[in-house]
């Protein structure tokens, strides 16, 4: 019995659209990362790009559970000693709701060059309901909305 390895001619990339309204951030990010990586396909090969493209709309309406809305902070470093900047979740949600989902999905992907390329080319996040990818005819990716929190 031989191990199956996908080849570039076997791989077909599809487009999915996800509505983030009312979804819990972490659960949404894990499902998006799974689709971007290609783990939802039986032909998944870790060293090949078997994943699909994902469009996320209504990123500004994503939820978090518990007290994360008050306590969660995003860190970035300016490059100078002692100049770490912390941005609260509420501020990030107001100014850049797309970055919240991008950072969450980035945390779910393996730390490799293939994963960085997948994140940059396969994930598109929009704060509102409009997106410019109607020509790709994306399929709706149904994720169940959680009732907790």
Write out pLDDT tens, residues 1-31: 788 889 999 999 999 999 999 999 999 999 9
Q: Against a cut of 0.95, is the pTM above it? A: no
Tokens of 16: 């999915």
Predicted confidence (pLDDT) per residue in 57-86, tens digit: 999 999 999 999 999 999 999 999 999 999
Architecture field, domain 15-65+96-140: Alpha-Beta Complex (3.90)
Ordered by start, the domain boundaries in the chain are 15-65+96-140
Tokens of 115: 């994963």
CB 46 within 8 A of CB 64: no
CB 39 within 8 A of CB 118: no
CB 26 within 8 A of CB 104: yes
Strands 73-77, 84-88: pairing is antiparallel
């Amino acid at each position: 019995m031989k191990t199956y390895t996908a080849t570039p001619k076997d791989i077909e990339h599809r487009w999915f659209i996800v509505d983030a309204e009312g979804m819990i951030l972490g659960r949404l990010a894990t499902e998006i990362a799974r689709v971007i990586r290609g783990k939802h396909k039986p032909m998944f090969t870790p060293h090949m790009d078997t994943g699909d493209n994902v469009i996320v709309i209504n990123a500004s309406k994503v939820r978090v559970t518990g007290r994360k809305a008050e306590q969660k902070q995003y860190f970035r470093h300016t490059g100078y000693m002692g100049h770490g900047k912390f941005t609260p979740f509420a501020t990030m949600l107001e100014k850049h709701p797309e970055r919240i989902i991008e950072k969450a999905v980035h945390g779910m992907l393996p730390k490799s060059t293939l994963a960085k390329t997948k994140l940059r080319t396969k994930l598109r996040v929009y704060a509102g309901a409009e997106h410019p990818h109607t020509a790709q005819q994306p399929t709706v990716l149904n994720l169940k909305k959680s009732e907790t929190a």
